[in-house]
């Protein structure tokens, strides 16, 4: 690499570490994978449905939308931002699809590309307002959340109209037969394809620059990197992931004006559970997805144990607080404050 490579510029104390983290995509996956393994074993003892592969495939099917959202949220967080609009965007996509399709099979072919374009457009607006107008991403995406919520409520009156076609629901609800494993959901196959795509993307120059921007945006800018462009791309990818998750959730759960409620907080919890540092610059996309699967597995286990669903919010809150505290300790924030 040359000295002007944006992934290697900056102070020596951060440049080498950023470069290594960009290449070592498995970095940080060890702890979350260990927790996931324990939870999966616990499921096998607690839930009879998990005595064969079909039970775990069903778990992956439920977790697929959250894991896909985690991919997009990872891109935003590792570059130093937040995207709080994804839950509302999921709801908007499902409501729009039901209204436009209205049970007509032939409409599915043009509605799905429209939803993907809509998700990308929302992400583009979030990214441009954040990078060009210099408004914090937390504020921008919180505003977008409220805009989308209000638009959905105004359009539907709280009761979505229309219906999804059978063709639209195939990917989220059905699967294909595989010897020994049984029926493998199409959503799991789609998830696997997106995992591969995300890993390949993060191994490329754009992915490495994304991590470097979160670690030291000033160094990347001085090195000739396109900070604003890369951060905007992260929001676009987050919007696309929300549209894909909406297609799966619409097929799996049907039409509802509450289908995306709380997903923005759940996916942020999942990403930080995977060891991705809030503030950017550290963490892997594989770990982020593992965090999403771990969170879904934990909630499934709590349900089987008869624990109240109200505990989910408390668990998410504790994970976020612990992650922020751990990140602060790791970067010496609290130690610096004590000594000044």
Q: Does pLDDT of 263 surpass 70?
A: yes
2 occurs within a structural domain: no
Q: Does pLDDT of 330 surpass 90?
A: no
Q: Does pLDDT of 326 surpass 90?
A: no
Residues 272 and 26 sit within 8 Å (Cβ to Cβ): no
161 occurs within a structural domain: yes
pLDDT for position 328: 65
Q: Does pLDDT of 237 surpass 50?
A: yes
7 occurs within a structural domain: no
The pTM score is 0.87
**Res. 318 pLDDT band, cuts 50 70 90:** confident
d(CA 246, CA 268): 17
Arithmetic mean of pLDDT, 21-34 = 63
pLDDT in tens, 42-93: 998 887 888 788 889 989 999 999 999 999 999 999 999 999 999 999 999 9
**Res. 320 pLDDT band, cuts 50 70 90:** confident
pLDDT for position 336: 45
Q: What is the DSSP letter of 159?
A: S
Decide which of 140 and 49 is more confident. 140
5 occurs within a structural domain: no
pLDDT for position 172: 86
Residues 250 and 98 sit within 8 Å (Cβ to Cβ): yes
Encoded tokens for 248:
């799966």
331 occurs within a structural domain: yes
Decide which of 49 and 197 is more confident. 197
**Res. 38 pLDDT band, cuts 50 70 90:** very high
> Strand 182-185 relative to strand 175-178: parallel, antiparallel, unpaired?
antiparallel
Q: What is the mean pLDDT of the chain?
A: 85
**Res. 335 pLDDT band, cuts 50 70 90:** very low
332 occurs within a structural domain: yes
Phi, psi of 191 (to 5 degrees): -60, -45
From residue 326, alpha-carbon distances to 74, 313, 320, 330 in Å are 18, 20, 10, 6
Residues 75 and 251 sit within 8 Å (Cβ to Cβ): no
Arithmetic mean of pLDDT, 206-221 = 92
**Res. 17 pLDDT band, cuts 50 70 90:** very low
132 occurs within a structural domain: yes
Q: Does pLDDT of 24 surpass 80?
A: no
Domain that holds residue 316: 12-339
Q: Does pLDDT of 307 surpass 80?
A: no
d(CA 33, CA 40): 10
Q: Which helix (H) or strand (E) holds 183?
A: strand 182-185
For the chain, what is the domain count? 1
pLDDT for position 130: 96
């Amino acid at each position: 690499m040359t000295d002007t490579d944006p992934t290697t510029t900056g102070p020596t104390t951060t440049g080498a570490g950023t470069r290594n983290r960009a290449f070592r995509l498995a970095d940080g996956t060890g702890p979350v994978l260990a927790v996931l393994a324990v939870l999966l074993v616990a499921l096998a003892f607690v839930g009879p449905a998990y005595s064969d592969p079909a039970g775990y495939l069903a778990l992956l099917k439920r977790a697929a939308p959250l894991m896909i959202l985690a991919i997009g949220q990872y891109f935003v967080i590792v570059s130093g931002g937040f995207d709080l609009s994804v839950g509302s965007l999921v709801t908007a996509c499902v409501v729009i699809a039901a209204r436009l399709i209205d049970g007509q099979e032939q409409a599915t072919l043009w509605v799905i590309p429209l939803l993907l374009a809509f998700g990308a457009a929302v992400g583009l607006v979030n990214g441009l307002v954040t990078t060009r107008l210099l408004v914090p991403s937390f504020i921008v995406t919180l505003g977008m959340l409220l805009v989308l919520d209000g638009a959905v409520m105004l359009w539907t009156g709280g009761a979505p109209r229309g219906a999804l076609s059978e063709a639209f629901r195939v990917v989220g609800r059905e699967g294909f037969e595989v010897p020994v494993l049984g029926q493998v959901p199409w959503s799991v196959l789609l998830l696997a394809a997106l995992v591969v795509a995300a890993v390949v993307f993060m191994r490329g120059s754009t992915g490495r620059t994304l991590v470097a921007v979160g670690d030291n945006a000033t160094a990347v800018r001085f090195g000739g990197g396109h900070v604003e462009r890369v951060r905007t791309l992260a929001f676009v990818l987050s919007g696309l992931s929300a549209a894909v998750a909406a297609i799966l959730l619409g097929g799996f759960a049907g039409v509802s004006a509450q289908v995306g409620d709380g997903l923005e907080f759940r996916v942020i919890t999942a990403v930080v559970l995977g060891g991705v540092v809030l503030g950017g610059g550290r963490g892997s996309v594989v770990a982020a997805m593992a965090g999403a699967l771990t969170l879904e597995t934990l909630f499934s286990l709590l349900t089987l144990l008869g624990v109240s669903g109200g505990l989910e919010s408390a668990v998410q809150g504790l994970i976020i607080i612990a992650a922020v505290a751990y990140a602060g300790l790791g970067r010496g924030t609290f130690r610096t404050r004590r000594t000044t």
